[in-house]
Amino acid sequence: MGLNLNPFTWWTGATLGTIIGLRGKARVGEDALGNVYYEGGKDTAGNPRRWVIYSGSNDASLVAPEWFSWLHHQVDDVPDRALPAPRVWQKPAVANMTGTALAYRPPGALEKGGHRAAATGDYEAWTPDA
């Protein structure tokens, strides 16, 4: 399905037009999730143009933070050379889980059973007779 659908759909990876447009552009790196990054040409301000080709669905939350900074010209060189090594206390980036079963749900949310903690006593329910 991927081979037949890929030339026509943008949400499952690079389309045929994107692949053709990347000819002559330099592949500068790949992140841990398999996304591939390219650079080449100049934009109207004279900055180099930069692209990401996602491995899988096109979801911007799947771009690692260090590569995000490279894509948005916050660092000039690729993250492996421009940034210090990650600290031992840093957690790896995770994708946006909104809309999935792993999304955050506060206490009392219907998806978690709908039971919330009892009111603490400083709350008085409104009644029409009061």
The two three-digit tokens of residue 45, written as one number: 């301000």
Percentage of the residues of the chain whose pLDDT score is greater than 70: 86
Region 61-76: mean pLDDT is: 89
1-42: pLDDT as tens digits: 445 555 556 566 677 777 787 888 889 999 888 899 999 988
Residue 21's pLDDT is 78
- What count of Cα atoms within 13 Å lies in the side-chain half-sphere of residue 103? 10
Residue 32's pLDDT is 86
83-98: pLDDT as tens digits: 888 899 988 877 788 8
- In the block, tokens 């590569």 appear at 67
Angstrom CA distances, 112 to 54, 97, 102, 105, 126, stand at: 33, 16, 12, 7, 27
The two three-digit tokens of residue 10, written as one number: 């943008």
Q: Distance (Å, rounded) from C-alpha 15 to C-alpha 25? A: 16
